[in-house]
Amino acid sequence: MSGPVEILAIGVAVVLVVARLVRPQAVGGGRWWLLPVVLAAVSLRQSGLVDGRHPAQSVTLLVLEAVVGVVIGLGWGWTSRLWTEPDGSVWAKGTKAAILIWVGGILVRGVLYGVGAALDLKQTSSAIMLSLAATLLARGGVLTYRAGLLSPAYGERAGVERERAWKDRV
């Protein structure tokens, strides 16, 4: 992928992530894993993910970035506010704690980038995309898990079931 296209892809992914942080979003869609998988596939297809001159240090840094991504995703997922709408759908919105976790994660990633620069490692945006994919995958998994634990809005699910039963008789 060329430099401008790569920058555009990362920019779009970051805009999507920030939008997910601040806006309510439905949880439980069957494709919550799609964007992370696409980001991971794109990052793994690119050359330069691992520095050939320093493979051990490069892989260690890459693993650390992925771990940071997973930790951010877990924190984001557990600190997001979830609620059930009367129709039974589950919604989530990032809280101030989720925003702080995201900002802290950016700072940690900056430190890791600095460590890589100090070690004279060749670093590409592929590592950022892979870490972002790990973040989104962990967040989606936690939100899907938490959504499964929620009970429906008070009395509404029973009303929906009664309505279906009535429609079936008619």
Instruction: Identify the helix (H) or strand (E) that includes residue 91.
Output: strand 90-93
pLDDT score of 54 = 87
- CA 163 to CA 24: how far, in whole Å? 28
- Please identify every stretch of the chain with a pLDDT value under 70, giving residue numbers as ranges: 1-3, 6, 10, 152-170
pLDDT score of 153 = 61
Instruction: Decide the pairing of beta strands 81-84 and 90-93.
Output: antiparallel
Joined tokens for residue 19: 């939008």
Strand-pairing partners, residue 91, are: 26, 83
pLDDT score of 30 = 78
DSSP 73-84: HHHHHHHSEEEE
pLDDT score of 72 = 94
How far lies 161's CA from each of 85, 131, 144, 149, in Å? 15, 42, 23, 19
Q: Which ranges of 23-152 would DSSP assign to H, the alpha helix?
A: 34-45, 55-79, 96-118, 125-149
pLDDT score of 69 = 94
What residue ranges do the domains of the chain occupy? Answer: 3-169
pLDDT score of 108 = 93
pLDDT score of 143 = 93
